[in-house]
Amino acid sequence: MGLIGGVILVVSIQSVNSLLGCVSWSWPSNPLPSSLDLVARLKVYGKLLVFAVRGIATATGIVLIEELVFRSWLPDEIAADFGYHWGIIISGLAFSLFQRSLMAIPGLWLLSLALSGIRHRNEGSLSVPIGLRTGIMASSFVLQTSGFLIYKANHPLWVTEAYPFQPFSGVVGVAFALLLATIVYPRQPLDHKNLKEEL
């Protein structure tokens, strides 16, 4: 669910960007030979599959470490001193700053709040947040490297940002992250005693 959800989220954001005229979807230039040679077509589709597998593998490694730090360890450390909600808020801000994209900070901070809520709804499990972030990163990588998405340069930076393949850097991505955070943000702390008893 998480991986597919991340892909759907990125495609939804970019589709709205497309409706606003900021981007256009296209088939990469000359991906398929003009001949109907099956072997040549299979090579092209194989290359696209390699892009996807490489994106998923790289994203999974990065996301696994980031989610363990920013969704598990850091919020608990901050919560011990400042309380549950401050742990989520401060670790989310640290997560967004760690991504080194100034324009993406609001969207990534809201995404972090949403991911904390998703973890909460899954009784502390990081599997869905890891899958969701992997889907987001892998689909962004595929869109960037394959040429499926073409950005138009005539829009203000606040709409698409200078690095347009970061889906949460523009106004549409922030709106999606805000909606997601509003829906799934945890209202109360996890009951760690019940979790320990279940284990």
In a domain, 7, yes or no: yes
- The residue whose two tokens read 């393949």 is 165
Per-residue pLDDT band for 195 (boundaries 50, 70, 90) equals: very low
What's the CA gap between 23 and 14, in Å, rounded?
7
- The residue whose two tokens read 């001949």 is 35
In a domain, 32, yes or no: no
Name, in order, each residue with C-beta under 8 angstroms of 97's C-beta and a sequence gap of 6 or more.
105
Q: Model confidence over 114-133: pLDDT tens digits?
A: 999 999 999 999 999 999 99
Q: Which two tokens stand for residue 150?
A: 């073409």
> C-alpha angle 112/75/85, rounded to 5°?
75
DSSP-assigned beta bridge partners for residue 151: 23
What's the CA gap between 175 and 31, in Å, rounded?
34
Domain containing residue 57: 2-20+38-188
E-only strand ranges, 26-162 = 149-151
The count of structural domains within the chain is: 1
In a domain, 173, yes or no: yes
Three-state DSSP at 199 gives: coil
Q: Model confidence over 2-18: pLDDT tens digits?
A: 899 999 999 999 999 88
In a domain, 33, yes or no: no
The pTM assigned to this predicted structure is 0.85
